[in-house]
Amino acid sequence: MTEDRYIGTELDVFAHARNWKSYVRALVRPYLAGEVLEVGAGIGAATLALNDGTPRRWLCLEPDPALAQRLEAAVAPCLPNCEVRIGTLATLDPQSLFDAILYMDVLEHIEDDSAELIRAAEHLRPNEHVVVVAPALPWLYSPFDAAIGHHRRYTKSSLRAIAPPGFQEAECKYLDSMGLLASAGNRLLLRSSDPRLGQILFWDRFLVPLSRFADIVLAHSLGRSILAVWRKAG
């Protein structure tokens, strides 16, 4: 992800994925307290879903000025703890420190993801967390991934390989085992680079609720997404 315009067109469609956001919120909210930095906040769909107003400060960092403008319009009326800033970690004040840094479907857009997490570590207070939610399983890489600028999809091993030095793993697990079926269908059959609203609503309304149960039964051993959380040593 650079400071150029975002090339994807999927943000508005995925904004309708309410069940998915609820599922992710239940998993990551315990880590999002104090001062939170959300990298690549887009149009604010994740911000609105994950920020319940209790963190002291929530900084939304977004490199695309057009998206940042929409983001500001979305969060300003309802989230007084939110601040929107155009830029990346490279443009952030080196003295700015946070209690949590969130990458919600963002890290896969960054070419040098390892260097990005090292920069993130420099902005994190001791004993606090970096939270990453990203697309999983390289064999699922599809025309859709390419169309929206994904450099990769992750496995547990590939995410663990880029953990910042000195960080301890708190969680690393796959999510949305039932959604894996839909992603596999797109990869192997439809090969669509532009998911339709109907497809997203079917996944969100029918498959995500099943995944919340199936993921537990399967011990988070497979899924179309992956969650990783690392804690910075004190």
Residue 4 domain flag:
no
Residue 68 domain flag:
yes
Residue 179 domain flag:
yes
Core vs surface per residue 170-206: b (16+ CB within 10 A) or e: ebbbbbbbbbbebbeebbeeeeeeebeeebbeebbee
Asked whether the predicted pLDDT for residue 85 surpasses 60, the reply is yes
Per-residue model confidence as pLDDT tens digits over 140-186: 888 888 888 899 999 999 999 999 999 999 999 999 999 988 777 66
Residue 5 domain flag:
no
- Give the count of domains, the chain: 1
Residue 186 domain flag:
yes
Per-residue model confidence as pLDDT tens digits over 28-68: 999 999 999 999 999 999 999 999 999 999 999 999 999 99
Residue 127 domain flag:
yes
Residue 125 domain flag:
yes
**Which residue range is the domain that position 188 belongs to?**
11-232
pTM of the predicted model over 0.75 = yes
- Determine the Cα–Cα distance for residues 80 and 36; give it in Å rounded to an integer: 14
Identify the CATH number of the domain in which residue 185 sits. 3.40.50.150
Of the candidate ranges 101-105, 127-131, 183-187, the one whose mean pLDDT is the lowest? 183-187
What is the bridge-based pairing of β-strands 98-104 and 167-175?
unpaired
Residue 98 domain flag:
yes
- Determine the Cα–Cα distance for residues 101 and 104; give it in Å rounded to an integer: 10
